Amino acid sequence: MPAPGSADHGGLNSSRVRDRMVDRVRELGVRDPRVLDAMRSVPRHLFVDEALASRAYEDTALPIGHGQTISQPYIVARIAELALEGIADPRAARLLEVGTGCGYAAAVMAQLFGDVVSIERLRALHDRARENLRPLRLPNLRLVFGDGNRGVAAGAPYDAIVAAAAGDELPPAWIEQLKPGGRIVAPVGALHQQLIVAIKDASGRVQKTGKEAVRFVPLRGGVG
């Protein structure tokens, strides 16, 4: 039910549309109930432009301005599932997200992990994410403006680092800021991108596994 006094956005506040989106994500293979619950609880229509709100629960990426996109729900869920694997107590875990965009995935991750830091290099999107996230009141989520290639040293070390933008390789800062045993879930590659999981062992070495072909916006340097 919409809160008293709030617009109901043409039925988008109803849980039915969200349930259908989650059914689709499950059909595509994401089975972790924690992830599916998190996807059910975050109102994705609050993160897209009014003009696109009616499409907010389709399993598709949508433009958010500045040449960027809100990730496809399946991809957000898949990354969350891969990040959770091997973390005994996610509620006690710290996660860094590179590429806040409109803030949707950050909100999903904040349902799952104890502490979430999310960095964005475009000021306009960083500000927009802050606005989008305000009504959700997530005290365990911190937004940072800056170049995520350098990670966010102030919040390190992390149990997991996830990225929503693809570089040619993993930035060394991410590996440095990861706990031993921690994992990075990120798209890597230029023309052909792969979603990879990189696990850091006790000696600091990283073991990478390719998961599936994906298409993300590029990981850029500097801020804008």
- Supply the residues annotated as catalytic: 71
CB of residue 202 to ligand SAH, shortest distance in Å: 28
Toward ligand SAH, which CB reaches closer, 17 or 119? 119
Toward ligand SAH, which CB reaches closer, 92 or 213? 213
Residue 10: closest CA among 41, 46, 53? 53
Contacts of 131 (CB under 8 A, 6+ apart): none
Q: Which of 73, 90, 148, 187 binds ligand SAH (CB under 6 A)?
A: 148
Toward ligand SAH, which CB reaches closer, 12 or 102? 102
- Show contacts with ligand SAH in window 152-171 (CB under 6 A): 164-165
CB of residue 89 to ligand SAH, shortest distance in Å: 24
Toward ligand SAH, which CB reaches closer, 105 or 110? 105
CB of residue 2 to ligand SAH, shortest distance in Å: 23
Copy the structure tokens of residue 20: 């259908």
Q: Which of 42, 120, 143, 170 binds ligand SAH (CB under 6 A)?
A: 120
What is the total count of residues that contact ligand SAH (CB under 6 A)? 24
- Show contacts with ligand SAH in window 49-108 (CB under 6 A): 68-71, 98-102, 104-105
Q: Which of 22, 110, 119, 141 binds ligand SAH (CB under 6 A)?
A: 119
CB of residue 125 to ligand SAH, shortest distance in Å: 5
| Contact predicate 112/140, CB 8 Å | no
Contacts of 73 (CB under 8 A, 6+ apart): 21, 24, 25, 39, 44, 57, 59
Q: Which region, judged by CB under 6 A, interacts with ligand SAH, from 19-27, 114-122, 193-201, 202-210?
A: 114-122
CB of residue 30 to ligand SAH, shortest distance in Å: 16
Report the interface residues with ligand SAH, using CB under 6 A: 68-71, 98-102, 104-105, 119-122, 125, 147-149, 164-165, 217, 219-220
